Amino acid sequence: MKQRDYKKVPLLLVYLLMTLAVAAQKITGRITGELGQPLPFASVTIKGTTTGVVANAEGVFSIEVQPGKYTLACQHIGYFSSEVEVSVGNADVNININLPLQQYNLSGVTVHSGGENPAYAIIRKAIQKRPEYEHEIKALQCDVYIKGRLQLRSHPQRFLGQKVDLPDTAQNQTLFLSETVARYSKSEPDKEKVEVISTRVSGNSSGYGLSFPQIISFYNNNIQIGENLNPRGFVSPIGDNALDFYDYKLNGTFYDNGLMINHIRVIPKHAYEPTFNGYINIIEDSWRIYSVQLTILKEQQMQLLDTLKIDQQYIPVGNTWMVKQQVIYPSMNLFGFSGYGDFVQVYSNYNLNPHFDKNFFNNVIIKYPDSSNKKPAPYWDTIRPVPLNAIEKEDYRKKDSLEILRQSPHYIDSVDRKKNKPKVIPLILTGQTFIHTREKLTYTFDPLINVLNYNTVEGADIIFSPDITKRWGTGRRSLFISPTLRYGFSNEHFNAHLTGNYNWGKRYANSFYFSGGRRVFQFNNNQPITSFSNTLGSLLFRRNYMKIYEAAFGKLAFTKGIGNGFTVGISGEFQDRYPLQNTTDYHMFNLAKERVHFTPNYPFEISNSNILHHQAAIASVNISWQPGAKYIELPSGKINIGSDYPAFGASLTQGIHGLAGSDVNYTKWTGNVTDDVDLKLAGTFSYRVMAGGFLNRKSVFLPDYQYYYANRGVAATEYLNSFQLMPYYAFGNTNKFYTEAHVEYHLNGLLTNKIPLMRRWNWFFVVGGNALYLKDKQYYEYFLAIDNILKIFRINFIQTYEPQGHNTSGITFSAAGLLTSKKED
């Protein structure tokens, strides 16, 4: 047996002591202005490298180095740069750095009366060089640190009639605090990837923070900051058409490391245009951006926020200049909630000639390893380039402690008991959900207005359909169960069925759907009419739009995501169908302008009689595909976030004759393509085009006809998938071919920014149309809509046109997020 050489142990101890002696030390300090005020987010870089840190909001910085001599280069927009020599031994070093306010030199700059300001010549040269710099970097890889913080300044006591459940100490409370360290890779023209190394969210140990670094490049013509802020984007001060949107003024020049920098004021020419105001610093001769300090105001067509300030500082990297740091300062006052924040991104270790493996850039653009959100606090103390300030340290300490408390069974149960108290308004109008957090169970009950209904077949009816959801872990695995009990008082029919959906899949989403029992179906099995709207129409206007039948049925469906934007599904269903007849003509009023009567309980526009008792066995297969689909990869699975390409879908449905006595015999196909085309300043063009028909129609019953998503109510239906004024059944058919199209052009503030009141309220125009083409008849709708009313509402003015006559007009309304997302009746 080999003996250990214990003589080497003293040498090992000496080596370890020497290693500890040269361990990294810290250079700490505070960066202030000439009046002693802290300079938030000033950058500190080790000269000759891209290694550096950023001061926090109080001007405090900390950087780890090995013993030796260093030159620290300190920068802050609006102040002279400073270089400080520091010698580091075996102990930490503390220094304070004072930056003088930038003095701008106007000597040699002459502006003649009525002449053009010298800034314009500089801007024209920057515009000329912009395309070169926009695509100068063919590939890069760098490290990025992201920290985001949101603070609550004040809040109302009540919101939407409900008490705002925040303590009095919530004023100036930190609402959100997150940090992320990642590696960012990019290759022209459009390949990007973020590999998250570590991420942390205050008070949420299982959360994932802000991870995609948004480098706002002012070398782009159109600056996309966020669709919710302005879907048109904003015009770059050095964009190709910038001179149409901005005025400029040269405030002077200054020198940094031998370079002359032009300090230029950027002034929007007109209010209510998507522009910036502030300052941009341009390097003489190369006409590159040195730094920016730009702000967007509400008056510049920004939504949600009151102001958004963007600071960027560039540094030389090789033969080019790259963003060293970017700080975004949002501020808002919305519905009485006032808040502000800062989001800082620090870039380091730039590699402008990276080697990427052949398959490095795939369909995953953000990847979180399993350990990314499990790093301990000491790790963050050594890795972050921006020190935490006192408020942030306290927020982490307090919320991380509270999270431990909130995970205790006693606390969880007490919170559940409070949330689960029955409330009168939700029980009547909106429904209520009861939560059992520890069991990951939720029970949702429909509001009373959805439970009690009326139609001419069942008379008054009761539909009781609670939802039960069970989840396992933090991934996709969940089970949804919904039993439905239904009783009609006039026809005295009782129906009951059970619906469920099981979801799972670590890599891609999969689901298994099952439903069975006895239930009431609409002739259009897509259930386009809600029981509530039919109740109002029947009782107040004598319009019984809903046409229904009964069936004992069973249905199974399986859907699987297979990657690369593909999802496939198969389903099988059997229905034993029975006709239903009107049993009552009760109504409360007749508010219709013309004299109307209840109509028979079948699609009388396309049939002279109701269905007879029959059976239908139906199988279908469908596929959807979006080329170039991108994914976020979490430890629990992948999330499809779509792509810039259109989405395609196709399905084939077969009525199987003879199976278990099935009477149907048909083959039906459909295909569709959907896309949103970003036109930048001109708005957004959205479309959905569909086609389909019957390849075989030997035996087709009314429930199997091709129907369309129609609407006769004032509540708008899904815009790119429905007709807003079309009769529900008048265009049902078994044609060999049909095509329909839905198009919308969202101007997103174009034109309305010229109309005084509309631009102040940030209302937008939407124009578009819907069309259906059949061999023997056609249907068209044209509309003008006003969108973004109070941020969520939209009103549509619609005109229909049918070559065969019956033209009409109408108005529909919608609120964001409330379109046709209704539960199966």
The one-character DSSP state at 6 is G
Residue 208 — very low, low, confident or very high, per pLDDT cuts 50/70/90? confident
At 691 the pLDDT is: 98
* Highest mean pLDDT of the ranges 72-76, 254-258, 682-686: 682-686
* Cα distance between residue 494 and residue 103, in whole Å: 85
What's the average model confidence in pLDDT over 56-81? 92
Interval 731-762: pLDDT, tens? 999 999 999 999 999 999 999 999 999 999 99
Q: Is the pLDDT of residue 425 over 60?
A: yes
Residue 63 · residue 23 · CB < 8 Å: no
Residue pointed to by tokens 């995970």: 407
Residue 594: pLDDT band (50, 70, 90) is low
pLDDT at 21 over 50: no
- Between 102-106, 407-411, 660-664, the lowest mean confidence (pLDDT) is in 102-106
pLDDT value at 389 more than 80? yes
How large is the average pLDDT for residues 51-55? 88
Q: pLDDT tens for residues 496-549?
A: 999 999 999 988 999 999 999 999 999 999 999 999 999 999 999 999 999 999
Q: Which of 261-270, 383-392, 609-618 has the lowest mean pLDDT?
A: 383-392
pLDDT tens digit sequence for 267-297: 999 999 999 999 999 999 999 999 999 999 9
The DSSP letter of residue 205 is: T
Which residues are bridge partners to 357 per DSSP?
none
Average pLDDT over residues 649-673: 98
- What pLDDT is attached to residue 114? 67
pLDDT band at residue 213 using 50, 70 and 90 as cut-offs: confident
Lowest-confidence pick of 6-20, 83-97, 497-511, 670-684: 6-20
Number of helices (H) and strands (E) in the chain: give both, helices first.
9, 43
Confidence category of residue 10, pLDDT binned at 50, 70, 90 = very low
Dihedral (CA of 716, 721, 722, 723) sign = positive
Return the residue matching tokens 């958004």.
308
Kindly state the tokens that stand for 273: 């245009």
State mean pLDDT over 335-364: 92
SS3 state of residue 266: strand
Place of tokens 């779509």: 642
**pLDDT for position 820:** 46
User: What is the DSSP code string of 490-537?
Assistant: TT--EEEEEEEEEEE-SSS-EEEEEEEEEEEEESSTT--S-HHHHHHH
Res. 245 pLDDT band, cuts 50 70 90: very high
Q: What is the pLDDT of residue 2?
A: 43
Q: Mean pLDDT, to the nearest integer, of 772-780?
A: 96
User: What letter would DSSP give residue 725?
Assistant: S
**3-state class of 237 per DSSP?**
coil
Cα 14 to its chain centre, rounded Å, is 57
24 has a pLDDT exceeding 90: no
Model confidence band, residue 572 (pLDDT cutoffs 50, 70, 90): very high
Does 819 have pLDDT greater than 80?
Answer: no
How many Å apart are CA 99 and CA 33, to the nearest integer? Answer: 5
- Please give the pLDDT value at position 167: 52
Most confident of 1-15, 104-118, 560-574: 560-574
Check if the beta carbon of residue 825 is closer than 8 Å to that of residue 520: yes
**How far does the chain reach from its first CA to its final CA, in angstroms?**
79
Residue 745 tokens, joined: 């052009």
Question: For the residues 679-692, what does the mean pLDDT come to?
Answer: 97
pLDDT of residue 215: 83
Q: What is the mean pLDDT of the chain?
A: 91
Buried b vs exposed e over 104-123: b needs ≥16 C-beta within 10 Å?
A: eeeeeeeeeeeeebbbbebb
Report, as an integer, the average pLDDT of 366-386.
92
Structure tokens at 574: 């059997």
Q: Which domains can be identified in the chain, with CATH numbers? A: 6-99 (2.60.40.10), 119-404 (no CATH), 519-815 (2.40.160)
Run of H or E including 556: strand 548-563
For 298, which DSSP code? G
Give 163's contacts (C-beta < 8 A, 6+ positions apart). Answer: 157
pLDDT band per the 50, 70, 90 thresholds, residue 162: low
**Residue indicated by tokens 């526009």:** 605
- Alpha-carbon gap, residue 478 to 443, rounded angstroms: 14
Tens of pLDDT along 618-634? Answer: 999 999 999 999 999 99
In tens, the pLDDT along 91-127 reads 999 999 999 998 888 765 665 656 789 999 999 999 9
For residue 467, which of 500, 491, 443, 439 has the smallest C-alpha distance? 443
Question: What mean pLDDT comes out for the span 228-241?
Answer: 94
Residue 676's pLDDT is 96
pLDDT value, residue 210: 75
Cβ atoms of 46 and 70 within 8 Å: the answer is yes
Q: Are 243 and 254 in contact (CB under 8 A)?
A: no
